């Protein structure tokens, strides 16, 4: 039976081990949410870049470009 003598830090290593496991689970959860949670269409920056390219190629007039850019910057709320 161990008293106050040797291996008095067993609780510390147990706590450290538990924190390591929790950190690993948190990392896996974060990576999973990041991989599967962002599939809701193109990002705002990609859409704005596509709009800028269409305007630069002459596919849109200035009024249409400004209206669409404003909608994208607001988040598409019409």
Rounded Cα gap, residues 41 and 25, in angstroms: 28
Total residue length of the chain: 78
User: What are the tens digits of pLDDT across the range 19-36?
Assistant: 999 999 999 999 988 888
The three-state secondary structure class of 1 is: coil
Bigger pLDDT: 29 vs 78: 29
At 68, the pLDDT band (50, 70, 90 cuts) reads: very high
Rounded Cα gap, residues 36 and 23, in angstroms: 20
User: What tokens does 74 get?
Assistant: 């607001």
Do the Cβ atoms of 72 and 47 come closer than 8 Å?
A: yes
Rounded Cα gap, residues 72 and 41, in angstroms: 13
């Amino acid at each position: 039976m161990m008293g106050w003598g040797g291996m008095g830090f067993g609780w510390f290593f147990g706590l450290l081990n538990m924190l390591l496991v929790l950190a690993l689970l948190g990392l896996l959860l974060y990576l999973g949410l990041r991989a599967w949670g962002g599939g809701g269409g193109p990002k705002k920056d990609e859409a704005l870049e596509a709009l800028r390219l269409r305007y630069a190629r002459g596919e849109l007039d200035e009024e249409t470009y400004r209206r669409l850019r404003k909608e994208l910057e607001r988040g598409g709320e019409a």
